[in-house]
């Protein structure tokens, strides 16, 4: 079976083949999408008239997380309470048709299932209207849901809690999860109010910017750099407030940032899409993160996989779902990742004309490991566009010996390009990327390892071109040679 630690097209396939059992506990709702055309205003008021030609209803909220998990290959169980009404029937039927188990969905007589309806004309969202009960469940329904939680959690590989404040997850449900917490290998909490779940000590929490601001009692800066600075400064306080081991802060168009214990922050970069195409992208992100983490994938790699999955769905209208096959295709789309040097010069000039700061680094990147990923992530944060110059197979053999590289240049380029922090990958045959540096004139040259700038032959070239040289963190126990030696000796 494929390595569940490498960000390649094989990773989604490997995760699907494992078929982990994952329970989703939370606020399930029905998403309605009414699409049509608009070419006039009504007589009663200056309001657009939409001639609706199509109406679709799909699972939303926690139910969309459960559907995404099923599409990614998990054995997905939905634990929730919905009304004993037509929308509730429609929601349960939709879950079943998507391959989600629903035996622990509790029906609540007299309760109105939460439904969010959107009217779309062309690509424009015209209006959204919501209905449904948002108060606490009746005591008997809450008791039934608490029992359903205890039944569903047994034997799971992970549990995802989706608490969006509809009243479904009351104190009885929290106590039921608390009672079985020791038996949950991985607890992921996606909640508007994370303080409610602090006592359960989640393994991972996934707050957005507004939820983080609520925890800290103050708004976050609007710019990405300002937000990241606040998050890094307050990471210890946020860990205390949420009780979590790791926090995956989602920042919409600015991607996400992972804080995992004492590890350096790991940021992902999104591929932005129109706002009306982003419904449910957070659910997809949480689902992909969870299925990867449940298989033992490092959280930094799981975060990259989650970002790739979210990037798939944000470029589709409606509440979309990402399957493991689509995710594999998305990662496989980087197989032709190598840039032509002449085209890259033009692309970099366009980036620079747009006011973007170019960061350049180089290396063999033979067996991509966590040290590489952390180093490339740091490099990207020094600017806006990251160019990675990759030693050709011939160059690697000349530098490392006849048994290297382990992976050929096309495979190495594809794995690098799959990282959200990498914008361009270009090949070079020489021992140093001097010609590329002169052609691209990067503002920053970044290098990882136990070097000083004066030790690098590239430093005089970069400085003569007006650029800066940055030496990044060196993780000595994560060298490629050490990884290959462990593989050859069979040690862990």
4 falls within a domain: no
Strands (E), 392-484: 424-428, 444-448, 468-472
Task: Say if residue 157 is in the same domain as residue 269.
Answer: yes
Spatial separation of the C-alpha atoms in residues 118 and 483, rounded to whole Å: 51
pLDDT at 402: 87
* Mean per-residue pLDDT, 330-357: 86
* Mean per-residue pLDDT, 302-311: 94
Task: Say if residue 313 is in the same domain as residue 388.
Answer: no
User: To the nearest whole percent, how much of the chain has pLDDT over 70?
Assistant: 92
436 falls within a domain: yes
Q: How many CA atoms lie within 13 A of 321 on its CB side?
A: 24
Q: Taking a C-beta distance cutoff of 8 angstroms, is the pair 403, 431 a contact?
A: no
Would you say residue 424 has pLDDT above 60? yes
Would you say residue 477 has pLDDT above 70? no
Residue at which a domain ends, from 332, 364, 389: 332
Question: Which element (helix H / strand E) includes 214?
Answer: helix 209-216
Number of domains within the chain: 2
* Mean per-residue pLDDT, 140-153: 96
Q: What's the pTM value of the predicted model, to 2 decimals? A: 0.87
Would you say residue 482 has pLDDT above 90? no
Task: Say if residue 376 is in the same domain as residue 419.
Answer: yes
Question: Which element (helix H / strand E) includes 247?
Answer: strand 246-250
Task: Say if residue 382 is in the same domain as residue 326.
Answer: no
Task: Say if residue 208 is in the same domain as residue 184.
Answer: yes
Would you say residue 2 has pLDDT above 80? no
> Which residues belong to the annotated binding site?
208-211
Task: Say if residue 445 is in the same domain as residue 324.
Answer: no
* Mean per-residue pLDDT, 94-119: 96
CATH of the domain at 99: 3.40.1190.20
Banded pLDDT at 7 (limits 50, 70, 90): confident
One-character DSSP codes across 25-70? EE-EEEEEEEEEEEEEE-SSSS-EEEEEEEEEEEEEEHHHHHHHHH
Task: Say if residue 185 is in the same domain as residue 96.
Answer: yes
Gyration radius from the chain CA atoms: 24
At 23 the three-state DSSP class reads strand
pLDDT at 113: 96
Please, is 6 exposed, middle or buried when counting C-beta atoms within 10 Å of its C-beta (0-12, 13-18, 19+)? middle
104 falls within a domain: yes
Task: Say if residue 259 is in the same domain as residue 354.
Answer: no
Q: Is 339 left (phi over 0), alpha (psi -120 to 50) or beta?
A: beta
Task: Say if residue 222 is in the same domain as residue 362.
Answer: no
427 falls within a domain: yes
Task: Say if residue 275 is in the same domain as residue 345.
Answer: no
464 falls within a domain: yes
Residue at which a domain ends, from 286, 314, 332: 332
CATH of the domain at 363: 3.40.50.620
1 falls within a domain: no
Active site residues: 283
Residue at which a domain ends, from 282, 300, 332: 332
3 falls within a domain: no
> Which residues belong to the annotated binding site for ATP?
208-211
Min mean pLDDT across 55-69, 130-144, 362-376 is at 362-376
Would you say residue 198 has pLDDT above 90? yes
306 falls within a domain: yes
Min mean pLDDT across 5-14, 17-26, 196-205, 228-237 is at 5-14
Task: Say if residue 224 is in the same domain as residue 260.
Answer: yes
Task: Say if residue 328 is in the same domain as residue 384.
Answer: no
What is the domain extent for residue 255? 9-332
């Amino acid at each position: 079976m494929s390595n569940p630690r490498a960000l390649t097209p094989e990773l989604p396939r490997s995760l699907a083949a494992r078929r982990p059992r994952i329970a989703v506990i939370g606020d399930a709702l029905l998403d309605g999408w009414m699409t049509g055309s608009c070419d006039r205003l009504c007589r009663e008021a200056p309001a657009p008239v939409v001639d609706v030609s199509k109406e679709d209803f799909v699972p939303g909220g926690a139910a969309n997380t459960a559907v995404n998990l099923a599409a990614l290959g998990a054995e997905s169980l939905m634990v929730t309470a919905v009304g004993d009404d037509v929308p509730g029937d429609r929601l349960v039927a939709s879950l079943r048709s998507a391959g989600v188990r629903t035996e622990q969905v509790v029906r609540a007589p007299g309760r109105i299932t939460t439904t969010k309806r959107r009217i779309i004309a062309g690509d424009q969202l015209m209006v959204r209207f919501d209905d449904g009960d948002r108060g606490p469940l009746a005591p008997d329904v809450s008791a039934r849901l608490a029992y359903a939680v205890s039944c569903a959690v047994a034997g799971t590989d992970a549990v995802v809690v989706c608490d969006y404040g509809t009243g479904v997850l009351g104190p009885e449900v929290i106590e039921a999860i608390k009672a079985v917490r020791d038996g949950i290998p991985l607890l992921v909490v996606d909640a508007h109010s994370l303080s409610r779940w602090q006592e359960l000590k989640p393994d991972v929490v996934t707050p957005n910017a507004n939820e983080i601001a609520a925890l800290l009692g103050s708004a976050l800066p609007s710019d990405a750099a300002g937000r990241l600075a606040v998050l890094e400064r307050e990471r210890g306080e946020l860990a205390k407030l949420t009780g979590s081991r790791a926090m995956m802060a989602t920042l919409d168009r600015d991607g996400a940032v992972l804080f995992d214990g004492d590890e350096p922050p790991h940021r992902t970069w999104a591929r932005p899409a129109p706002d009306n195409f982003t419904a449910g992208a957070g659910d997809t992100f949480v689902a992909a993160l969870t299925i990867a983490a449940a298989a033992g994938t490092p959280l930094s790699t799981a975060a990259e996989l989650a970002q790739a999955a979210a990037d798939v769905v944000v470029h589709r209208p409606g509440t979309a779902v990402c399957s493991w096959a689509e995710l594999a295709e998305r990662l496989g789309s980087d197989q032709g990742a190598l840039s032509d040097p002449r085209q890259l010069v033009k692309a970099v000039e366009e980036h620079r004309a747009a006011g973007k700061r170019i960061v350049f680094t180089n290396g063999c990147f033979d067996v991509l490991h966590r040290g590489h990923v952390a180093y490339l992530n740091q490099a990207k944060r020094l600017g806006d566009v990251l160019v990675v110059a990759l030693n050709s197979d011939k160059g690697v053999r000349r530098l490392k010996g006849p048994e290297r590289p382990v992976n050929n240049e096309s495979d190495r380029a594809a794995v690098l390009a799959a990282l959200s922090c990498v914008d361009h990958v270009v090949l070079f045959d020489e021992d140093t990327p001097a010609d590329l540096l002169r052609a691209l004139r990067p503002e920053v040259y970044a290098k990882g390892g136990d070097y000083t700038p004066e030790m690098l032959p590239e430093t005089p070239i970069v400085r003569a071109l007006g650029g800066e040289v940055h030496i990044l963190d060196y993780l000595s126990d994560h060298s490629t040679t050490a990884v290959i030696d462990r593989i050859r000796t069979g040690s862990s």
